[in-house]
């Protein structure tokens, strides 16, 4: 049985995906106390805290290292300081641990903006460091809308395969093939949600154009001036990217039309849009939305992992 570690684990997206593949998680880490509590409820173990304080020798031996390393320093909604920001420098914790343990595979995830920030210098640095410690690196921007998840969420997936595994265990990787499955937001929306999710405004402007099903968000109206969090979308399309920090009246989920009005998405709907089961625990209220907005999508990790083949 392959063993893996779950760094910056959040609510456990990598773990859900790899345990489904029959693997064993032997170590998890996250500094967020709310996340630690929720991870314990889901998996029966509490992640250790600040990874910078954990000696690499105290981390169990593992075959696969997983990390959705903190993305705020690379995100277009942040200051874009890249690896010069503290959160960006946490990438070097991955390097430190991988250099010591030399896992066969590393699966890393981050925001799309990481490939262009700092004129491309950040991604070059990341590739160079991974190469230096002995890994072939494959980098793809994948959109979950194309893989049977009704959320437009573009993320960068890094597949890092150790170079010296030998002929018998040589690993190869091929970009996952898009599914273009015809699933839409309306297929996962709840029929009854709490009234607090609905908005009642006098500054709503709706389009009267006919809408057809599409594998992308379909804007059909605005609130106020139509800024971030003020756009209304059709359930015949996909959701916008769920966000941990978005603002506006449709904060974190966007606004959507159903048969009762215009509303934000429920926590359960957000779980479904992130590929988690309805029974997966998250915190209540704003913390829960934040945790989901920061998570990786388990089905996307499965697609990426399944694209690694033994030669």
Q: What is the largest CA-CA distance in the chain?
A: 67
pLDDT score at 172 = 83
> Among candidates 17, 97, 6, 5, which has minimal Cα distance to 276?
17
pLDDT in single tens digits along all 311 residues of the chain: 899 999 999 999 999 999 999 999 999 999 999 999 999 999 999 999 999 999 999 999 999 999 998 754 444 444 444 445 544 578 999 999 999 999 999 999 999 989 888 888 889 989 999 999 999 999 999 999 999 999 999 999 999 999 987 655 677 888 999 999 999 999 999 999 999 999 999 999 999 889 999 999 999 999 999 998 999 999 999 999 999 887 789 999 999 999 999 999 999 999 999 999 999 999 999 999 999 999 999 999 999 999 998 65
Q: What gap in Å lies between CA 195 and CA 199, rounded to an integer?
A: 9
126 vs 197: CA distance, rounded Å: 41
DSSP line for 143-164: EGGGGT-SB--EEEEEEEEETT
- Residue 104, CB half-sphere, CA atoms under 13 Å: how many? 17
The CA angle 42-17-308, to the nearest 5 degrees, is 160
CATH architecture observed for domain 3-179+297-310: 3-Layer(aba) Sandwich (3.40)
The reply to whether the predicted model has a pTM over 0.95 is no
DSSP 265: P
Give the C-alpha separation, 54 to 159, whole Å. 24
pLDDT attached to residue 108? 97
Q: What is the structure's pLDDT at 80?
A: 45
Q: Which residues have a catalytic role annotated?
A: 71
pLDDT of residue 62: 97
b/e code 199-222 from CB counts within 10 Å (16+ = b): eeeeebeeeeeeeeeebebbbbbb
Q: List 309's β-bridge partners, or say none.
A: 172
Q: Which two tokens stand for residue 176?
A: 């996952």
Contact status, residue 6 vs residue 12, Cβ threshold 8 Å: yes
Domain ranges within the chain, ordered by starting residue: 3-179+297-310
Rounded (10°) angle between helices 91-101 and 121-132: 10
């Amino acid at each position: 049985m392959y063993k893996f570690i779950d760094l910056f684990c959040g609510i456990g997206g990598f773990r859900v995906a790899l345990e489904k593949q029959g693997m064993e998680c032997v170590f998890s880490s996250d500094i967020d106390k709310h996340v630690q509590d929720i991870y314990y409820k889901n998996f029966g173990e509490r992640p250790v805290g600040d990874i910078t304080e954990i000696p690499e020798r105290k981390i169990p031996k593992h075959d696969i290292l997983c990390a959705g390393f903190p993305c705020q320093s690379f995100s277009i909604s942040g200051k874009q300081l890249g690896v010069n920001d503290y959160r960006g420098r946490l990438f070097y914790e991955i390097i430190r641990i991988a250099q010591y343990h030399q896992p066969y595979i590393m699966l890393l995830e981050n925001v799309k903006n990481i490939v262009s920030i700092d004129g491309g210098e950040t991604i070059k640095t990341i590739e160079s460091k991974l190469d230096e410690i002995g890994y072939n690196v494959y980098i793809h921007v994948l959109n979950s809308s194309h893989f049977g998840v009704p959320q437009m969420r573009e993320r960068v997936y890094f597949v890092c395969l150790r170079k010296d595994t030998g002929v018998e265990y040589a690993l190869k990787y091929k970009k996952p093939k898009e599914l273009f499955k015809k699933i839409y937001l309306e297929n996962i929306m709840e029929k009854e949600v709490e009234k607090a999710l609905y908005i009642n405004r006098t500054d709503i402007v709706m389009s009267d154009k006919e809408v057809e099903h599409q594998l992308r968000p379909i804007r059909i109206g605005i609130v106020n001036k139509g800024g971030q969090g003020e756009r209304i979308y059709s359930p015949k399309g996909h959701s916008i990217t769920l966000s941990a920090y978005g603002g506006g009246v449709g904060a974190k989920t966007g606004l959507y039309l159903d048969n009762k009005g215009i509303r934000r998405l429920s926590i359960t709907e957000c779980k479904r849009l992130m590929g988690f089961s309805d029974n997966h625990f998250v915190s209540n209220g704003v913390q829960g939305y934040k945790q989901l907005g920061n998570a990786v999508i388990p089905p996307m990790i499965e697609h990426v992992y399944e694209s690694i083949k033994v030669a």
